[in-house]
Amino acid sequence: MQPWHTPLTPLSFLARSADVFPDVTALVHGDRSWTYAQLHAAVEERARALRAAGVQPGDRVAYMMPNVPEMLIAQFAVPLIDAVLVSVNTRLAPEEVRYICDHSGSSVLVLDTVHWPEITQVAPELETVRTIILAEDDQHADQPLARANPAGTHVVDLETFLAGASADADELVWAVADENQMLSINYTSGTTGRPKGVMYSHRGAYLNALSEIVHSGFDHDSVYLWTLPMFHCSGWCTGWALVAAGGLQVCLREVRGPVMWDLIDRHGVTHLNGAPTVITTIMNAEEAHDLDQRITITTAAAPPSPTMLARMADRGFEIVHVYGLTETYGPYTVCEWQKPWAELDGPARAAKQARQGVGMLTADRARVIRTDTDADELIDVPADGATMGEVVMRGNNVMLGYYQDEEATAKAFAGGWFHSGDLGVMHPDGYIELRDRAKDVVVSGGENISTIEVEQAIAAHPDVVDVAVVGIPDDRWGERPKAFIVRKDGADLAEEELLEFLRDRLARYKTPRHYEFLDVLPKTSTGKIQKHTLRAQEWAGRTARIQG
Amino acid sequence: MQPWHTPLTPLSFLARSADVFPDVTALVHGDRSWTYAQLHAAVEERARALRAAGVQPGDRVAYMMPNVPEMLIAQFAVPLIDAVLVSVNTRLAPEEVRYICDHSGSSVLVLDTVHWPEITQVAPELETVRTIILAEDDQHADQPLARANPAGTHVVDLETFLAGASADADELVWAVADENQMLSINYTSGTTGRPKGVMYSHRGAYLNALSEIVHSGFDHDSVYLWTLPMFHCSGWCTGWALVAAGGLQVCLREVRGPVMWDLIDRHGVTHLNGAPTVITTIMNAEEAHDLDQRITITTAAAPPSPTMLARMADRGFEIVHVYGLTETYGPYTVCEWQKPWAELDGPARAAKQARQGVGMLTADRARVIRTDTDADELIDVPADGATMGEVVMRGNNVMLGYYQDEEATAKAFAGGWFHSGDLGVMHPDGYIELRDRAKDVVVSGGENISTIEVEQAIAAHPDVVDVAVVGIPDDRWGERPKAFIVRKDGADLAEEELLEFLRDRLARYKTPRHYEFLDVLPKTSTGKIQKHTLRAQEWAGRTARIQG
């Protein structure tokens, strides 16, 4: 290694903060707290235990957890032994969790005890998982813990697992040999039926975290509330960013109004991230009141309305609007504030803030390209704020590719740029603004839902002949999926039966709440379903198609 | 190029800010100002002109300039055509400038017109410089401009030079192929007689700039006053950092009290960098008054005394204390503030702040190693705040090496770490504190002076038999060199004659003001001069050996 080269890795952030701020509080959960020295020790303890359990460099370790300290600890412990963290969306159905564990080839699955009852049923089928670790945090001791032991899989509680490794005193190196090596895999629903594993590198996570320090304004005095799921895009790399800044992170199990306001007041929260639904929940809570401190909310997908922005400003909140995908480590663009906007009236200013903006400091410039050419041929649309095109991105803020899926990776990277599938315009000032989605994806509460996946689950019912799923507006979630169904002649299939049928096949948040039974679906002459027709009738009178 | 990889370069900072903040003021000098769009255009204009003049990728271009806009523009324009910027200390004697131009093999020398009268004499001797460009800024139109044309060298004023290149409309690419390629060379006086060329890379400068944003707290509202020489360590990479943050930079030709206070008030300065002498000048100026805004002074070498710190706090200044060398892009460590220090009394708090601190966010951990072992064998001293050792550093914040000097590079990188030559201790809390210098270097007003270089210049006088130069305390400059001289038997060589002799051989700031004539110098049994004996008598009663 050259004396002038140190591979970039977010591990260095905790190594440094444990060194520089050992006695500063890094993490709070309920009545428990961890200093940076204690967080560092907890990470090393897990790393040693995982290594003692046979986890090798490059191995995948799956975690399925709410926003509890164990999940943040995992973001350092797994890469510390050069392994790869697979974060599992806690809202997935057991069958989906099984698919992700098997597809990633994870050898260990760490579960919060709340998820064990549902995962028990698929545990015997897991192909590569040898060890299941059940973690129960202090805040949840009242939860009943079932410990059925599925055939062939070792199930152990976290305390026992950690105790078994205490003899291993090998030195742990808080560095990596190659900054481009894989750090984590985050599964996302794309246009195909199965989730794809988005691979993050140490370098990408490091640089994304530095950008978030700059754009969200994290520093040593920051108190960050974990309203964004940690499993989502590695928590937008925010856990690493806060550790780099030497700030305080506040965990919580449930994103509910009373809980959030209690933590905001108790810890003097200064920052939080989340989809617009989080903002709505905070602002509409009974406990909502004016703030003593300022809170910066970094939000994605769509910014609040002018009315909501005004209400928030009155309370003491300010907004940083970002945009990105799982494939871009979370945020890629930021709607950089321009001083002259302060002189605009509310709606005009909100319209400026509603735009997705410009590449972050460590990201490349985003482009909007024509969609009427080959995917490999990247021709920018005019920057006129009117001509629609697809948003494409590249550089250090873009994933390494999809795990074990060269075909999907090649398609996503056609022409050397990542194709977001999002449609938008380029304004004359270089800000992008989304207008529609090219992909068959519904974004509900910040999570992608593949309409094709939902359609396949519904089509599996013997009475269904044809089905189309589109996103419809929802005041709370931004969008929700709605299913349009053609039944078999004479079948009297109803909504209730479908819901029952889908219960074990589809995560609850993906399952449509709205069904409409048609005689025939609108189709093109070549037989392709015209989803835009279905969408148009549902979105009539709404200005924004893209919402959280 | 992989879609997930963009080589790191500070060029991207200006490309982005010109895109995002085109109409925001980037730079002010006297009555002139440049928006980010104008700065971008000025950079491209220079880059095209240099390319039209035959500058090829990898070529060196030397600049000798005070802190005027042209020097900041050069920090982007030269690397924009993949060339290497050689910044020349404006206080060097003509012979020293000639050496640097020749050693770096620079093909172009850009001079502020104030330097032309002195450089004229060495211009005919320059071995590789084909073109000398004279830049005269608006603020200095009263300066007489002599344009003697030395044999074989093309001398042209900047306006003519730029005008000749306007037809070149090749696209300029604001990116580099390799982030480890050379960006600049900064010559520094080390322990040997000749200055060595410290090579910076694009990656190193990019990451150092990001650290400075975090540690000095630069943002879009920052107004930075250029009290640190831009030629010094590429201005600590601060020009790139401010452009990244989208802040405003205020130029100035002379670091004098009235000028600084005028600019502080006029532009609402929030940040400046400088050696302790800069702080003294500001605080002792007749114009000194309480500030409307807060000013953060990032200072190196040594922090102010408790008394000065208290005076500064009263006025509205705060201090960020950093430490580094030319070999580390300027700052490498920062004395991170710890909240409990606020409860200490003035002297105890100042003692904490006087320490050089810990590696910056993008730097590695600094080490203090034993000096009684081979240079290759790196053994840490105990972290007891008492055991002396040498400070060593490595990683992205360390130079690529010395230009065209493999031997010096290998020596500096013995054992895979950069040997600073600075002696200090490691405190139990991981903070380093300097105590002495291993190298024969005097640091005066923030600039290194090689005592060996000064000794060689003095020894060239025929009446000098033996000479030793050490640093002595100086209230204004921190240290000044003092010469101890043994004369030839019977010679009556006096101070005045020596000063006259040294005038053309040595830069004024390196020339000793104090001389002492001895019969014999104190030496070891093996004949080595005991400089520590000479130093000890001069520093009696002073606690700090290391000062600015």
Q: Which two tokens stand for residue A476?
A: 């709370």
Contact B244 A21 (CB under 8 A): no
In the prediction, which pLDDT does A151 show? Answer: 60
Q: Count of H helices and E strands in chain B?
A: 17, 26
Nearest Cα to Cα of residue B355 among B443, B434, B436, B275: B434
Q: Which residues of A94-127 are buried (b: 16+ CB within 10 A; e: fewer)?
A: bebbbbbbebbbbbbbbbbbbbbeebbebbeebe
Give the separation between CA B67 and CA B48, rounded to whole angstroms.
23
Residue B7 contacts A, CB cutoff 8 Å: no
Single-letter residue type at B11: L
Q: Which two tokens stand for residue A50?
A: 């995982």
Residues of chain B with pLDDT under 70: 138-152, 166-169, 190-193, 302, 436-439, 524-528, 541-548
DSSP summary character for residue B465: E
Burial of B467 (0-12, 13-18, 19+ CB in 10 A): buried
Residue B16 contacts A, CB cutoff 8 Å: yes
Residues of B within 8 A of A359 (CB-CB) are: 16
Give the separation between CA B226 and CA B221, rounded to whole angstroms.
16
Write the CA distances from B403 to A159, A391, A457, B105, B406, integer angstroms: 56, 44, 65, 10, 8
Nearest CB to B400; choose among A4, A213, A339: A4
Residues of chain A with pLDDT under 70: 138-152, 166-169, 190-193, 302, 436-439, 524-528, 541-548
Residues of A within 8 A of B222 (CB-CB) are: none
Q: Following DSSP, what letter does each residue of A353-416 receive, concatenated?
A: HTS-BEE-TTSPPPEEE-SSS-TT---BPPSSS-S-EEEEE-STTS-SEETT-HHHHHHHTGGG
Give the separation between CA A286 and CA A257, rounded to whole angstroms.
8
Write out A173-219 in H/E/C secondary structure.
CCCCCCCCCEEEEEEECCCCCCCEEEEEEHHHHHHHHHHHHHHHCCC
* Greatest distance between any 2 Cα atoms in chain A: 76
CA distance B213 to chain A (A): 8
Return the SS3 of A457.
helix
In the prediction, which pLDDT does B271 show? Answer: 98
Write the CA distances from B134 to A226, B79, B116, B145, B147, integer angstroms: 57, 20, 8, 9, 9
Nearest Cα to Cα of residue B295 among B277, B312, B308: B312
In the prediction, which pLDDT does B194 show? Answer: 82
Nearest Cα to Cα of residue B68 among B34, B98, B94, B93: B34
Q: Which of residues 301-340 of A touch B (CB under 8 A)?
A: 336-339
Express each pLDDT in A519-531 by its tens digit: 988 876 656 677 8
Give the separation between CA B537 and CA A191, rounded to whole angstroms.
79
Neighbours of A310 (CB within 10 A): 15
Nearest Cα to Cα of residue A362 among A414, A390, A324: A324
Give the separation between CA A100 and CA A114, rounded to whole angstroms.
19
Chain B residue at shortest CA distance from A431:
B20
Strand A108-112 and strand A84-87: pairing? unpaired
Nearest CB to A416; choose among B3, B399, B430: B3
Give the separation between CA B548 and CA B475, rounded to whole angstroms.
10
Tell me if B275 sits within 8 A of B548, measured CB to CB. Answer: yes
Return the SS3 of B281.
helix
ipTM: 0.87
Helices B257-267 and B276-284: crossing angle, nearest 10°?
80
CA angle B151, B122, B75 (to 5 degrees): 100
In the prediction, which pLDDT does B28 show? Answer: 98
Return the SS3 of B51.
helix
Write out B490-522 in H/E/C secondary structure.
CCCCCHHHHHHHHCCCCCHHHCCCEEEECCCCC
Tell me if A215 sits within 8 A of A360, measured CB to CB. Answer: yes
pTM: 0.87
Tell me if B438 sits within 8 A of B422, measured CB to CB. Answer: yes
In the prediction, which pLDDT does B548 show? Answer: 32
Neighbours of B460 (CB within 10 A): 12
Residue B394 contacts A, CB cutoff 8 Å: yes
Sign of dihedral through CA atoms B326, B331, B332, B335? positive
Nearest Cα to Cα of residue A427 among B439, B73, B20: B20
Contact A3 B398 (CB under 8 A): yes
